[in-house]
Amino acid sequence: MFDCLNNYLPQKATTNLRHYCFCNRIHVKTGLLAIICMVAAIEFLEMVVFIVDKLPITSPWQIFFEILEAVCFLGLVTAYKTQRSIFMWPFMVSQFLAVMATVLIAIICLLTFVLPRSAYRGMFTNPGIEDEEGNGDVRVRALVSFLFYCLAGILEGWALTITLACHRYFDEVNEARERRMRRNRNFDPRGQGPSSGGHVIAPDSFDNPNYTLPVSDGEEGSGPFQQQRGKPAIV
């Protein structure tokens, strides 16, 4: 069965494993794209529910969180397009706070499941009838809430892990790009090292001490082996 699934899954990466997720099968940038699609789907469904049910704005905090969600989503899209990790910071901070909140609520749910008469009992009962609710009903609600927040915490933690890995990947890509640009600026194709503004001009001709121009008929003087008048030439 697993061999059949491997035929439809991407191959496992063998190098740069820190840049892969899903058991080293999917690149972190692709994982970031999946997170963007999930956030876009959630925002779209939330907008549809808000419009269809005509939900009123109850407090300024609701407006603040809606703006925060929009900023985080736009930051993810910008980071994916430009490969700049700084745009991922709003989403990563919000995800970290969300993970901490879900862990805290899950602990409260587990505590209420173990001790149904705890101070958090009112969170799992209807208002005004806390004492009339049985311990069994409170424990069931606490257990269901615990499982729900555990699942939510796992998803939030997975998204935070992917964004952290993608943040590191974008930093390494930008560092490699800057090193390549510096190397291209300092490279001199003539092999004379870094350019300093000066140019070396090669001479057009070279002097040969063993070569002399022949003397023409009208020029005075004689060559090195030319006979002089009245004197025999010694060879």
pLDDT band at residue 131 under the 50/70/90 scheme: low
Can you give the pLDDT at residue 233?
A: 47
* pLDDT computed for residue 235 by the predictor: 42
Q: Is 12 inside any structural domain?
A: yes
pLDDT the model gives residue 130: 60
> 64 versus 191: which is more confidently predicted?
64
Asked if residue 111 lies in contact with residue 120, where contact means CB atoms within 8 angstroms, the answer is: yes
Percent of the chain with pLDDT over 70: 72
Q: Among 66-70, 87-91, 120-124, 228-232, where is mean pLDDT lowest?
A: 228-232
The pair of three-digit structure tokens given for residue 41, joined into one six-digit string: 């789907």
Expressed as residue numbers, the domain containing 117 is 2-186
DSSP 30: H
Confidence check: pLDDT of 48 > 50: yes
Angle separating helix axes 60-82 and 89-114, nearest 10 degrees: 130
Domain-embedded: residue 56 = yes
Residue 206 located in a structural domain: no
Phi/psi-derived region of residue 202, left when phi > 0, alpha when psi is between -120 and 50, beta in every other case: beta
Higher pLDDT: 93 or 57? It is: 93
Which pLDDT score, from 0 to 100, does residue 124 have? 83
pLDDT at site 216: 47
Give the residue-averaged pLDDT of 77-91: 94
Domain contains 78: yes
The total number of structural domains that make up the chain:
1
Residue 167 lies in a domain: yes
Q: Which of 20-34, 192-206, 209-223 has the highest average model confidence (pLDDT)?
A: 20-34
- Tally of helices (H runs) and strands (E runs) in the chain: 5, 2
Q: Is residue 196 part of a domain?
A: no
> Residues with Cβ < 8 Å from 69, sequence gap 6 or more?
43
